Amino acid sequence: MAAAAAAADQRDRRTGSKILSRLKMDFISYWTCVLILLASSRSLANDDDDHHEMEEFLKREYSLSKPYQGVGSSGSSHWELMGDSMVTTEQVRLTPDMQSRQGAVWSRIVSIALKDWEMQVHFKIHGQGKKNLNGDGMAIWYTKERMKKGPVFGNKDNFTGLGVFVDTYPNEEKYLEAQKKRYTPRTQRIFPFVLAMVGNGSVGYDHERDGRPTELGGCNAMVRNLKHDTFLFIRYIRRRLTVMIDIDGQHEWRDCLDIPGVRLPKGYYFGASAITGDLSDNHDVVSLKLYQLTVLRSKKEEEEEEEEITIPSVDNLEQILRGEVEEGMSGVAIFFTVLFCMLGFFMLIVVGLVVYSHWNENRRKRFY
């Protein structure tokens, strides 16, 4: 009986040794695969960065900054004032903190050669009104029309081009009260709110609903009465619109919206406008700095972008407005998905080893 037990114990040890050896090989293979994937991911990322290598150049003729020489008073200036806007030594004030005012500043030059660009806006919104007792907001424009007064943050409705709005007053609350409806946790938002809209000349901005029916996306931005500088970042590159904000005084950009498939024609005007109603604020622009971006494109991208854009539009607009657009997984996302799957597989091996050890120990005890 003892000899049989010893033989069985010897076989179990040999079996256990083989299993441990196999587990070691699996462990080595696992981390080898991980290292290969890491190297491949880094290589692909580097290839992608090299493929889309980008340079930026400040375009002074399209930029507005101190000391605002000739703005509003000289025909030779590249920028023109409209409405109640005025120039001071520190900023271009689009509206004072007074009721029923609207003003704007517009570039005189069309952006003929700009295919990819980036606008950095240094702005300030401040006033005497308390929260939700101020209004109405300001906008940054890239449009076919210029110097047109209207209800959309001081610009005309049914505009043609891009508008990025800093909306400081929640008009929709009154709209919902009239409809005897309430916000849901999903639809409620905090103001001020930054949003973007692309117009084709026939789509209006819904003021009562704070532009929700036509917005491409947005984010809340607590920008009023701050002591530090506040910035807005708008980038249009490879038909992709990205908006970010820097409002916390940390000199860090925070994502606001990122929409692919945005088609904007070349040759439009840049501008900024603001409006007040029964409630008011000072809406100031400190600077508008425009950068021309140069990006290396693949042949496929060049072929896709050969067709000249004449009317602003957005791919899959209906799905975007319903919040249904889902982009494919990026290379990094795929990598981490594979990594976590492999980690899960490795954990299964460890659990199997523990279970086998307990089973083997119990089996051996039965011989004594």
353 and 256 belong to one structural domain: no
178 and 259 belong to one structural domain: yes
341 belongs to a structural domain: yes
Average pLDDT estimate for 318-342: 62
Q: What is the pLDDT of residue 97?
A: 97
User: Of 295, 313, 344, which closes a domain?
Assistant: 295
Number of separate domains in the chain: 2
34 and 172 belong to one structural domain: no
125 belongs to a structural domain: yes
126 and 45 belong to one structural domain: no
Q: What is the pLDDT of residue 327?
A: 42
Share of the chain above pLDDT 70, in %: 73
Q: Domain range spanning residue 334?
A: 2-52+330-365
DSSP string, 5-31: HHHHHHHHHHHHHHHHHHHHHHHHHHH
318 belongs to a structural domain: no
- Structure tokens belonging to residue 172: 């929709």
346 belongs to a structural domain: yes
Confidence of residue 311 (pLDDT cuts 50, 70, 90): very high
For residue 132, the domain's CATH number is: 2.60.120.200
201 and 225 belong to one structural domain: yes
104 belongs to a structural domain: yes
Separation CA 138–CA 270 (nearest Å): 14
309 belongs to a structural domain: no
Question: Shortest CA distance to 279 belongs to which of 112, 108, 132?
Answer: 132
Question: Shortest CA distance to 172 belongs to which of 197, 145, 190, 151?
Answer: 190
353 belongs to a structural domain: yes
101 and 22 belong to one structural domain: no
3-state percent helix, strand, coil for the chain, nearest multiple of 5: 30, 30, 40
161 burial (CB, 10 Å; 0-12 / 13-18 / 19+) is buried
Does residue 354 sit in helix, strand or coil? helix
Q: What is the pLDDT of residue 202?
A: 96
11-26: pLDDT as tens digits? 555 555 555 455 555 5
Confidence of residue 355 (pLDDT cuts 50, 70, 90): low
33 and 166 belong to one structural domain: no
17 and 146 belong to one structural domain: no
User: Of 272, 295, 318, which closes a domain?
Assistant: 295
Whether the pLDDT of residue 289 is over 80: the answer is yes
In sequence order, the β-bridge partners of residue 119 are 234, 290
41 and 104 belong to one structural domain: no
Separation CA 220–CA 210 (nearest Å): 13
70 and 173 belong to one structural domain: yes
This prediction's pTM: 0.75
User: Of 295, 316, 346, which closes a domain?
Assistant: 295
116 and 35 belong to one structural domain: no
Whether the pLDDT of residue 320 is over 60: the answer is yes
Q: Where do the DSSP E strands lie in the chain?
A: 54-58, 79-83, 86-87, 92-95, 102-107, 117-126, 137-143, 160-167, 193-200, 217-220, 230-237, 240-246, 254-260, 262-263, 269-275, 282-295, 313-314
- Structure tokens belonging to residue 181: 């409806």
Does residue 214 sit in helix, strand or coil? helix
Separation CA 141–CA 147 (nearest Å): 11
146 and 195 belong to one structural domain: yes
Average pLDDT estimate for 164-171: 95
277 belongs to a structural domain: yes
Query: Which phi and psi (to 5°) does residue 346 adopt?
Result: -65, -40
Average pLDDT estimate for 45-70: 76
